[in-house]
Copies of this chain bind each other. A is one copy, B any other.
Amino acid sequence: MTSTPAELRVNAARLAARIDALAEVGAIDGTRGCARLALSDEDRAGRDLVVAWMRDLGLAVSIDGIGNVVGTLAGATNEPPVMTGSHIDTVRTGGRYDGNLGVLAGLEIIEVLNEANLTPQRPIAVAFFTNEEGARYSPDMLGSLVYVGGMGVEQAHAIAGIDDTTVGTELARIGYLGTAPLPAAAPHAFVELHVEQGPVLEAEQQTIGAVTGVQGISWTEVTVVGQSNHAGTTPMGLRRDPGLVAFRTGAFIRDLAEEIGAPQVATMGRIELHPNLVNVVPAQATFTIDLRHTNDEVLRDAEQRTLAFLEATAEREQCSVTTRTLARFEPVIFDDDVISLVERTADTLGHSVRRMPSGAGHDAQMLARVCPTGMVFVPSVNGISHNPTEHTDDADLEAGANVLMQVLLELAGGTTEAPR
């Protein structure tokens, strides 16, 4: 006998306890944040903890060749599973909710079903994907990209990180070079719960975001080479200063983003000068440009204007420029039915809800290539993320997890009390 048990609710304390326990791994002293860069020792420790929880919950755990981990609760049928999940790697100054919430809410939902002795019609899978953040290896969302066949596993293994390690070597080192086939079989649907990481829900006093898609992302690494020289004896007119090219470009992209207007954003978040000394005109500047917009045409235009400015500035300074694309994702539009289901479910559960695009990239945008996909957002206090002070109120975590559970059960075709 099949039912969709609308009365089921997550255990908010249990969910919070798992979030807190995982945040202890790689905790940043004196803060609520954590640092678990992808495939680091801290990431391994976090993975080991989550895998142990998966096994305790009776999930069948599989690991693929890019280190994605999927724990599956068997369904009454062998149809493709409904999948949820996210990532557990963090940036160097990460909060405790980004990514982790989506994975641990998935486990909490499994535990609720276990307690109620309910079996979903379709299997329900909870995944965490490798290197979502891209803080150690580019591109970001690497694990989910490989999962859906967007990049070959050999190519992914060869990627070098900011510390000159490679993905393949580090996967093997931490014991997460698995054998599950890649690309993976497409799930029936994918829904990811995530903190908004922006200020919109809080500002509009909404509890749930029904995410309509993800803005396009363009990451470029720029290297400008000039002429190192003495800062005291080189007249301004004879300088070939790659640092200046970087600085002018950093100011330009801010002005450009303001001119284009929202939702255009532009960031120069990383820069290194060489030799980086007070009294030496640098020989080389390496920096990154992060441009995002929901409209790919606007995004391409911003890219072209940035490149034109960069090249003209470098030429005036008699410097050479090379650029490397670290990541380039077109805007993604999620599945209409899933968006509506999220919206309707939130409404049914009595939570305020609004449709909104995601400003950040998420694993869900990769899964959207192979199956109907959506996301559930909950508010981020002050819009802060990628920061140890990242926070979401317990009531919002609970609301998001309950919406996710009902959406997953609906997509799974309900539950049965058939023996597990």
Which residues of A are at the interface with B, using a C-beta cutoff of 8 A?
A: 91-93, 133-135, 138, 140, 196-199, 215, 217, 219, 221, 227-238, 241, 243-244, 246-251, 254, 257-258, 262-283, 288, 290, 292, 326, 358-361, 383-387
29 contacts between A and B (CB under 8 A): A91-B279, A93-B275, A134-B278, A135-B280, A197-B233, A199-B234, A219-B279, A221-B278, A227-B384, A228-B384, A228-B386, A230-B360, A230-B385, A231-B267, A232-B292, A235-B262, A235-B263, A236-B262, A236-B264, A243-B269, A246-B250, A247-B251, A269-B273, A270-B276, A270-B277, A271-B276, A278-B288, A278-B290, A280-B386
Whether the pair A265, B236 counts as a contact (CB closer than 8 A) is yes
A230 with B277, Cβ < 8 A, contacts A247-B247, A247-B250, A251-B244 known: no
Q: Is the CB of A269 within 8 A of B231?
A: yes
Please give the count of copies of this chain that the complex contains: 2
Task: Give A356 to B208 CA distance when docked, in angstroms.
Answer: 71
Expressed in whole angstroms, the Cα–Cα distance for A282 and B221 within the complex equals 17
Complex Cα–Cα for A92 and B248 (A): 26
Q: Please state if B92 and A278 are interface contacts (CB–CB under 8 Å).
A: no
Q: How far is the CB of A77 from chain B (nearest CB, A)?
A: 38
Residues on the B chain within 8 Å of A250, using CB: 243-244, 246-248
Task: For residue A79, give the distance in angstroms from its CB to the closest CB of chain B.
Answer: 35
Which of A236, A271, A275 gathers the greatest number of chain B CB atoms within 10 Å?
A236
Contact B283 A387 (CB under 8 A): yes
Rounded to whole Å, the gap between the CB of A199 and the closest CB of chain B is 6
Q: Nearest chain-B residue to A266 (Cβ)? A: B236
Chain B residue numbers with a CB within 8 Å of A92 are 275, 277
Q: B residues within 8 A CB of A274?
A: 93
| Those 9 A-B pairs whose CB atoms lie nearest each other, nearest first | A198-B233, A247-B250, A233-B359, A231-B267, A232-B360, A278-B288, A230-B385, A247-B247, A232-B359
Q: Is the CB of A232 within 8 A of B361?
A: yes
The distance from the CB of A93 to the nearest CB of chain B, in whole angstroms, is: 5
Please give, as numbers and ranges, the residues of chain B lying within 8 Å of A265 by CB-CB distance.
Answer: 231-232, 234-236
Cα A53 to Cα B290 in complex, Å, equals 55
The answer to whether residues A290 and B247 also contact, given A236-B266, A277-B91 and a CB cut-off of 8 A, is: no
Q: A384–B229 Cα gap in the complex (Å)?
A: 6
Q: Which residues of B contact A290 (CB under 8 A)?
A: 231-232, 278-279
Alpha-carbon separation in the docked complex, A273 to B273 (Å): 11
Q: How far is the CB of A232 from chain B (nearest CB, A)?
A: 4
Closest B residue by C-beta to A221: B278
9 extra A-B contacts, CB within 8 A, seeds A231-B292, A241-B267: A198-B235, A219-B278, A229-B386, A236-B254, A236-B257, A237-B258, A267-B278, A270-B276, A271-B271
A42 CB to closest chain B CB (Å) equals: 15
Q: In the complex, A278 Cα to B265 Cα: how many Å?
A: 13
Contact between A385 and B236 (Cβ–Cβ < 8 Å)? no
- Which residue from chain B places its CB closest to the CB of A327 in the assembled complex? B278
- Specify which chain B residues have a CB less than 8 angstroms from the CB of A199 in the assembled complex: 233-235, 238
Q: Which residues of B contact A235 (CB under 8 A)?
A: 198-199, 262-263, 265
